[in-house]
């Protein structure tokens, strides 16, 4: 059986999904799985995140150290995980110390990415980051047109 995916946008699509479930044979040896969940993050969300992280990476020294935009992604996603009381995994390093495992934004849901983008914008604003034209354009577009969920006017 091929994978079937339905985006529940209207009643007709919902009825098609229900019909697909009803028409799927039951099999105790190989049961089928039905998952209802929010979609994963979008490419436009990803495109909003990286200019923000790039501007933070270029302008912020964190405890005297300048980090890459990839490092800032790990720092910001860890901040959001901590705020949401999510699991923050770490392990003893092979040569000592500890390694904290990052969170994969490619596996996040849209609402989770909204939190990452808002946290990056908040952190940058709190640390006097002057966001460049690309980051500003993305934030202004989100605030003006609401193409992604926003909370009280904050960019998504």
The answer to whether residues 56 and 72 touch, using CB atoms and an 8 Å cutoff, is: yes
Q: pTM for this one? A: 0.64
Nearest to 56 by CA among 72, 79, 44, 45: 72
Instruction: Give, for 60, the enclosing helix (H) or strand (E).
Output: none
Note the pLDDT tens digit of each residue in 23-77. Answer: 999 999 999 999 888 777 777 788 888 999 999 999 999 999 999 999 999 899 9
* Start and end residues for every CATH 1.10.3790.10 domain found in the chain: 43-145
Tell me which CATH homologous superfamily contains domain 43-145.
NinB (1.10.3790.10)
């Amino acid at each position: 059986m091929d994978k079937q995916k339905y985006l529940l946008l209207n009643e007709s699509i919902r009825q098609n999904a229900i019909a697909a479930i009803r028409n799927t044979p039951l099999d105790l040896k190989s049961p089928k799985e039905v998952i209802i969940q929010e979609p994963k993050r979008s490419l436009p969300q990803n495109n909003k995140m990286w200019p923000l992280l790039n501007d933070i990476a270029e302008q912020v020294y964190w405890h005297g150290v300048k980090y890459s935009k990839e490092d800032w992604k790990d720092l910001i996603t860890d901040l959001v995980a901590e705020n949401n009381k999510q699991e923050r995994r770490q392990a003893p390093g092979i040569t000592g110390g500890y390694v904290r495992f990052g969170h994969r934004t490619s596996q996040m849901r849209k609402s989770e990415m909204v939190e990452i983008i808002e946290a990056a914008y908040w952190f940058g604003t709190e640390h006097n980051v002057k966001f460049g034209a690309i980051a500003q354009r993305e934030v202004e577009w989100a605030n003006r047109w609401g193409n992604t969920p926003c909370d009280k006017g904050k960019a998504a």
